[in-house]
Structure 1
Amino acid sequence: MKFPSIFRTYSHTRFEIKPRYYDPVKEEIEQRTAKIKRELQADGKLPLENENQEALNRDYGSSIKGAFTQGSPIKGRPSAMINSAGMIRLIIFLVLLGAFFGYVYLGPDALYTILYIFVGVGLVYLFFRLKGKSRP
């Protein structure tokens, strides 16, 4: 017997998965026939179709293979290393470590020196960034 309540109690939800039909034999046959057709078109035994021009230029393989590494910022461009989160964390860690040891060995003057250096570097960076944008 359930007592009336102002709070809603949730019941258990069931996990339901709808399986998709997958026939590996049929897919392998389609892949082989497409590959043979491309090879025959490349040899000139079959007429070329406009739709298959792109298929001739690329290797046959899984579209997922290497898809995650292709979008990697480190492989894409050399300046991406500065934008990576790991590099930023490393720089912050080194600054904090330097500030700690500077404070221990030199006192509060070291913290002010580090602060002035970073403010100066930041202003120089902003200057060159804004100077580059003003050019047409």
Structure 2
Amino acid sequence: MFLELNQEVTNKEIAEIFQCSNQGGIRKSNKTKTVVIIAKFLDCSYVHKKAGDILYFVGIGKKGDQQLIRQNKSLYNAEKEGYSIHCFELYEENKYIYKGEMSLVKEVFTEEQVDDNGKMRQVLIFPLKYKDI
């Protein structure tokens, strides 16, 4: 599994390389011991933010308050369980840019954002640092 930083791949290639689902913003693979995150920056209800080498990644769950369960819990526990976290950023449809391996660098926190129903809710924010930047 070798990808160059900023290499562009398709969603299908991500699923093949990491042996993970081809859907969702957090994709855990027990086969490759990886958690793949997809930070969409186009037409997305999740408002991810970047500040220097930190990505403030919004957890999953499009309606209501997000909880630290399922994929969100997988991302939170990834490194403790020996999984590596790999990030792709999406600025154009089906053009996934590999940003490298990441590490959770601060405690997860919550902030208010609008859900898919237009209602305010609490989302989980994962502060992740790019390892190769």
Higher relative contact order, chain-length normalized (CA < 8 Å, sep 6+) = 2
Fold-level similarity (TM above 0.5): no
Query: When the two structures are superposed, what TM-score results if normalisation uses the length of structure 2?
Result: 0.20
Q: Which has the higher strand share?
A: 2
Whose helix fraction is larger, Structure 1's or Structure 2's?
Answer: 1
Q: TM-score, normalised by structure 1?
A: 0.20
